[in-house]
Each structure stands twice: as structure tokens, then as C-alpha cells.
Amino acid sequence: MSNPEVSVVGSSKVRTWGVGALVVALAVALVVSVNHDRASAGTITVTGSGTAQGVPDTLNYQIGVNTTASTAVAALENNNARMSALQASLERSGLTKSDMQTSDLSISTNTNSSGRVTGFSVSDTLSVTTHRLASAGQALDAAVHAVGNGVQLYGVSFSLSNQSRALAAARAQAVSNAHTAASQIVRAGSTSLGRIVKITDQENASSPPIIMGTSFAIDKAAVPLQAGTQSVSVLVTVVYALNG
């Protein structure tokens, strides 16, 4: 697999790093304050916020089987057979057993309005994680055909497996922009910027994917999936000493 480059845009120039399948677009918000009280005189505090976006490389979803029969034993046996067919279909599509985990298995009683038992239902669900996004739509379509009516699919979500790299790029640029802003402030105040007293990583977060852009539907039999883009953000506070 090729290693796409990550581009981080600073205040005066653009630098490029090859850090995984990410295209980083940085937005920085700066909040600046200069301390004037006696206890903290001689410092300037700058807060920088950065956001990095990338194309998700991981797909997570839950897929399972719900079966109803007149007896609990029959419902369970039928469900087991259909779940085995589902797992076999996913494995034929390239998934391994380590990509699948049973997340729910339940047997429930069905009753009518008068409380009379009318049958039994069995539900069995797999949580699936895959990095094979190009074939994910086709895998889902094949799994649904293997199970037929009674298949259940929900909880579809995309994520970045290398989110730490995006956050690292955002942090570096946030600190750089904080330094630029602090330098501008102290020049206006007829003083100069000293050493860094403290750096605090206040917050980082991940936003849900924006569904747009990248489609992984490869033929008419595939479920069309859109990975879109996903953003991560970081907030850092830098305290500088003042000279003179």
C-alpha cells in the first residue's frame, strides 16, 4: 500500500510529511492573554486549536441473524445454521475470525395480546471490524444473500486507525502558530519572547465522519459505502517567559 502524504498549512509556508493515509487541513484558533499580576508577571499565555482531517481506513458494523420458530430448540438450531452461513460468507470475502466477535446472543419468548406463547426468537450478532474497505460493500451484500430474510445490520461507522499521527501533526502546528502569535504580541508591547515555561495539551477529540467523497462500491452487487472524511482536533496552551 502506498503511503499518502500529509500536508500541514502553517501561517507562512507549507510543509509536507508522509505519515499515512491522511490529508491534513489545519484550522487554528488563537486566544492570547498576558499576565499582569505580581505573582505571574513576565509571562504570556497563548492557546492554539488545530484540526486535522483524514480519510477513514477502518469500517465497523454489527451484523446478525434473527430466527423465529415454534420451539426454542428449533429457533436456536435454525439460527445457528444461518449464523454459520453468515460467518462463512464473511470469511470468503477476506475477513478472518479475529475480525469478528459475538456481541449478542439471546433467546426470547413471543406472546400475543392475551399473553399466550406463540413461539420463540433467537438473535445472534457479530461485531465486525475490517480494513478492507475496497471490498466491504461486496462482502456485506454477499453476507445478506447468505442469510436471507432475518438478517440484521446496524451500527455502521468509519474510523481512523492512525489517529495519533493526525493529532501529532495538529499539535506541532498549533504550537508553531502559538509561537507566531506570541511573538507578534510581545513585539507590539516593546518586549521580547523568552523561553517556554509550560505547555499543556488541554483537549483532543474525534468528530464523526463527514459522509462525502470516497465510495467503495465496486459493482452492482456491492452495497455502496461512503467513507467520507473524519477530523481530529487538539488544543494546546503555551506559557512563555518575557524578556525585558
Domains belonging to the chain, first-starting first, are: 6-56+161-243 (3.30.110.170), 59-158 (3.30.70.2970)
Over residues 100-152, the pLDDT tens digits come to 999 999 999 999 999 999 999 999 999 999 999 999 999 999 999 999 988 99
What distance in Å separates the CA atoms of residue 148 and residue 215, rounded to the nearest whole number? 25
CA distances from 34 to 42, 46, 76, 180, 238 (A): 8, 9, 69, 15, 12
pLDDT at 128: 97
Question: Which H or E element spans position 96?
Answer: none
Question: Is the pTM of the predicted complex or chain greater than 0.75?
Answer: no
Q: Is the pLDDT of residue 211 over 70?
A: no
pLDDT at 208: 54
Judge contact between 228 and 213, C-beta under 8 A.
yes
pLDDT at 206: 58
Mean pLDDT across the stretch 59-71?
A: 96
What share of the chain has pLDDT > 70, as a percent? Answer: 75
What share of the chain has pLDDT > 90, as a percent? Answer: 44
Cell numbers that stand for 147 in this block: 442469510
Q: Which of 203, 174, 173, 191 is nearest to 35 (CA)?
A: 191
Residue 91 gets which letter from DSSP?
Answer: H
Residue 244, classified by CB atoms within 10 Å of its CB into exposed (0-12), middle (13-18) or buried (19+), is: exposed
Q: Is the pLDDT of residue 95 over 50?
A: yes
What distance in Å separates the CA atoms of residue 186 and residue 129, rounded to the nearest whole number? 51
Mean pLDDT across the stretch 219-226?
A: 72
Cell numbers that stand for 189 in this block: 508591547
Crossing angle of helices 136-147 and 72-92, rounded to 10°: 150
- Residues making up the chain, counted from first to last: 244
* Confidence at 52, pLDDT banded by 50, 70, 90: confident
**In the block, residue with C-alpha cell 446496524:** 154
> 148 in helix, strand or coil?
coil
Phi-psi category of residue 195: left, alpha or beta, with phi > 0 → left and psi -120 to 50 → alpha? beta
Mean pLDDT across the stretch 40-67?
A: 87
Cell numbers that stand for 89 in this block: 460468507
Cell numbers that stand for 113 in this block: 395480546
* Confidence at 19, pLDDT banded by 50, 70, 90: very low
CA distances from 234 to 4, 160, 176, 209, 231 (A): 22, 15, 13, 17, 10
Mean pLDDT across the stretch 228-238?
A: 86
Residue 182, classified by CB atoms within 10 Å of its CB into exposed (0-12), middle (13-18) or buried (19+), is: buried
Judge contact between 103 and 125, C-beta under 8 A.
yes
Over residues 151-204, the pLDDT tens digits come to 999 999 998 888 878 888 888 888 888 998 898 888 887 788 889 999 998 756
Angle at alpha carbon of residue 220, lines to 217 and 148, rounded to 5° = 100
